[in-house]
Chains A and B, each alone.
Chain A
Amino acid sequence: GENVEQHPSTLSVQEGDSAVIKCTYSDSASNYFPWYKQELGKRPQLIIDIRSNVGEKKDQRIAVTLNKTAKHFSLHITETQPEDSAVYFCAASIRIQGAQKLVFGQGTRLTINP
């Protein structure tokens, strides 16, 4: 089955610096790769996603890159701010018998130090 590995599990950066979180997936049939942000005590919410026919996508300070050959995708946050502190999850979606199965990585706790 599909497996998603996420690294690092914790990340601490200075405010204004960049943060990078990396994920790998196992099933080459995966075709959709969302990233979710979860603040303390809240539900996960989508921040950016990328489909398998695209190599890179950017939305203001957030960007995602996808390398299908290596089965690897990454989240890049530039000019980090204190409100970026949260747990971030990557995920991969694979179509199995008509159903879109969504599998998540283990999460990265990002801390922005002022």
Chain B
Amino acid sequence: NAGVTQTPKFQVLKTGQSMTLQCAQDMNHNSMYWYRQDPGMGLRLIYYSASEGTTDKGEVPNGYNVSRLNKREFSLRLESAAPSQTSVYFCASRRGQVNTEAFFGQGTRLTVV
């Protein structure tokens, strides 16, 4: 099992450009999450998905959209990137129905110039 796989690992964007961060898990998990990590601010929840076909906003959803394409995949889209979106992005998944461990992807380091 690969666990949670994110692509790309690194990305540099110009202000105003768009891009999609991809995330896939092979653990048959129901819940998936997108977080951003900034120095001194911990892991802040952007969006989450309890199951295929459902998505909900987290703490910092502005400027982002998500798609739960199927049970395996949960993508994060930046429609018009801004320097404030420079961060490390982590995708995570959990079984969902019961309280269990969240497994994280390796992260995407995004720089917006």
A contact set with B: CB distance below 8 Å? 1, 6, 9, 31-32, 34, 42-46, 49, 51, 89, 91, 93, 96-107
- Decide: B43 and A100 in contact? CB cutoff 8 A: no
Q: Is B112 an interface residue (CB 8 A)?
A: no
CB-defined interface of B59-93 with A at 8 Å, one 1/0 digit per residue?
10000000000000000000000000000001010
CB pairs A–B below 8 angstroms (10 shown) = A6-B42, A43-B105, A43-B107, A46-B102, A49-B101, A99-B49, A99-B54, A101-B58, A103-B45, A104-B45
What residues of chain B have their CB less than 8 Å away from a CB belonging to chain A?
Answer: 31, 33, 35, 40-45, 48-51, 54, 56, 58-59, 90, 92, 94, 96-97, 99, 101-102, 104-107
The listed residue (B31, B40, B92) touching A99 by CB distance below 8 A is B31
Q: Is the interface of A mostly helix, strand, loop or mixed?
A: strand
B39 to chain A, nearest CB (A): 9
The 3 closest A-B pairs by CB, nearest first: A99-B50, A32-B99, A106-B42
Q: Is the CB of B104 within 8 A of A45?
A: yes
Give the residue name and chain of the B residue nearest to A96 (CB): B56
B59 touches A103 (CB 8 A): yes
